[in-house]
Amino acid sequence: MTHLWVRAEQRPNEDRVGLTPEGAKALLSGGIKVTVEESSVRAIPLQGYIDAGCEIAPENSWPTAPADAIIFGLKELPEDGTPLPHRHIMFGHAFKGQHSGKALLDRFAAGGGTLYDLEYLVDEAGRRVAAFGYWAGYAGAAVTLKSWCAQQRGEICGPVGVYPGKDALLTELGAELKAVPADVPTAIVIGAMGRVGTGAADLCEAMGVTVTKWDMAETASGGPFPEILQHDLFLNCIFARPGTPVFVPAEALTAARKLTAIGDVACDPDSDYNPVPIYAEATSWEAPALRVANDPVMDVMAIDNLPSMLPVESSEDYAAQLLPSLLTLTDLKTGVWGRAETTFLDFVPA
């Protein structure tokens, strides 16, 4: 019997999960065994999984799971260097030239396991079958707007946290905007036709921010793009890949510009293809904004687990998208899983 083991997330500030109790019940009905670890942080309570009929395991016990179990989580594993013998479903961040990805792939090579990277679960046309993009864009735009508000107060953005829902976020952000003396800012979103960009634009428009929406047609020239510098906020919603243009080069920091706050929602500073190469590492919930220039000021927001700020909505949305693929776990050699394994084999050391 195919066995899916849903692990507890071990990364700080990560409350999401990729399977809801309703989804677990559907998998059980489809003949797939489901084990769910206890979790001290998961936004969806354990009782729902118990009621669905899942087996329950202690938190972080996945290393001792049966050898044939498929371990399912979202974010990174602890970086302890141990070999990985299991099959894992997660975001590996290892296939786009990320320098930290080599260590993960080496662990799979050492243990003989397989990575089914969630970012590379694609249909026959190469489109991702599930993504957190919308809520990443929504939360990323919110934190970028918070960074801009902090600038108007002569400050840098302070810590951010988890919200029980988007209404609470909008209420807090609206109060911050109302309290600053400046006019409502303008924003430009690149990747506006995608899930991430749609979420970013929706948040901005909910806050009364005028949004310029760009996508492939507007960036086909390859740059430079001086129009970006004429907006208060820039939201990058295009994932780094070979051929992605540079949107904000280093010389922009000293150029005449209106731009003071960048939200790199795609957040791939460790990639060779980073389209915003003015910073080198992700920011954090404790320090959301990195100041990269002072005259005039420029802050970059680059948190890499933004959807966890709205963990219930983002978990439910993502899990619904992913469930049809999880229901096909009984055949890992074809479809989305077969394609994901082929991608892994292209990158893992021999």
Q: Which amino acid is at 222?
A: G
Interatomic CA distance for residues 70 and 337, integer angstroms: 12
8 A C-beta contact, residue 130 and residue 318: yes
User: Is 75 among the residues known to form the active site?
Assistant: yes
Dihedral of CA 145/129/4/63: which sign?
A: negative
User: 88, 93, 146, 166: which one is catalytic?
Assistant: 93
State the Cα angle at 28 between 1 and 35, rounded to 5°.
75
User: 3, 25, 33, 75: which one is catalytic?
Assistant: 75
DSSP state of 128: B
8 A C-beta contact, residue 156 and residue 308: no
State the Cα angle at 128 between 165 and 166, rounded to 5°.
10
Residue 104: CA count within 13 A, CB half-sphere: 23
Cα–Cα separations (whole angstroms), residue 44 to 32, 48, 52, 165: 21, 8, 13, 13
**Residue spans of beta strands (DSSP E) within the chain:** 3-6, 33-37, 55-57, 70-72, 87-90, 114-117, 186-190, 210-214, 233-236, 261-264, 289-294, 297-301
Dihedral of CA 114/120/125/127: which sign?
A: positive
Catalytic residue IDs: 75, 93
